[in-house]
Amino acid sequence: MACNCCNGEDKEKYAELEAFIESLPTTKGELIRVLHRAQGIFGYLPREVQVYVAKKLNIPVSKVYGVVSFYSYFTMKPKGKYDISVCMGTACYVRGAERVLEALTKKLGIGTGETTMDGKFSLRSLRCVGACGLAPVVMIGDKVYGRVTPESIDDILNECE
């Protein structure tokens, strides 16, 4: 029972999510698992997806929203093509992560949790990648860049073409 209001691509995505939900032996207590999959499929969790999940699991939308907004892993905004995360773990912090984040904010003209107008970059801060030996650390997608300085961010951004 995918909705009728969306385009073909969305339809496929909803169908994939529906198939996943139906493959679960029980939906009891599986909200977070379903949201993980939904974010994997859609890239983020917009209102419509949350409403859809609530309907499928037969729970109030407020509960879905409550969970989505509680956990930092879930996002309600689409990420950029290059999702940049600056590690703000303590090891990175004492080795100057704040200045790196500041420099990125200035350079990209967006704050943390935001995406550039052209959809190319999004910026986030995260807690400890576990690569403290390389502090301060910046991640773009799955790639980890170590010992980053405000001066070296240009080189890193230039790789994103």
Q: Which is nearer to other proteins, 104 or 137 (CB)?
A: 137
Q: Which is nearer to other proteins, 110 or 124 (CB)?
A: 124
How many angstroms separate the CA atoms of 45 and 136, rounded?
30
Decide: is 51 part of the binding site for other proteins (CB under 8 A): no
Decide: is 79 part of the binding site for other proteins (CB under 8 A): no
Stretch that binds other proteins, among 11-19, 46-54, 72-80, 114-122 (CB under 8 A): 72-80
Q: Long-range pairs for 67-71 at CB < 8 Å and ≥24 separation?
A: 67/31, 67/32, 67/35, 68/35, 71/32
Q: Tell me the number of residues near other proteins by CB under 8 A.
A: 38
The answer to whether 92 is a known ligand-binding residue is yes
Give me the sign of the Cα torsion angle 101, 107, 111, 117.
negative
Q: What is the DSSP letter of 41?
A: H
Cβ count within 10 A of residue 70: 9
Stretch that binds other proteins, among 4-12, 104-112, 113-121, 135-143 (CB under 8 A): 135-143
Contact 135, 91 (CB under 8 A): yes
Q: What is the DSSP letter of 58?
A: T
The answer to whether 132 is a known ligand-binding residue is yes
Task: Enumerate the β-bridge partners of residue 125.
Answer: 86
Decide: is 133 part of the binding site for other proteins (CB under 8 A): yes
Decide: is 111 part of the binding site for other proteins (CB under 8 A): no
Decide: is 138 part of the binding site for other proteins (CB under 8 A): no
Decide: is 137 part of the binding site for other proteins (CB under 8 A): yes
Binding site for other proteins (CB under 8 A): 28-33, 35-36, 66-67, 70-74, 88-91, 93-95, 126-135, 137, 142-146
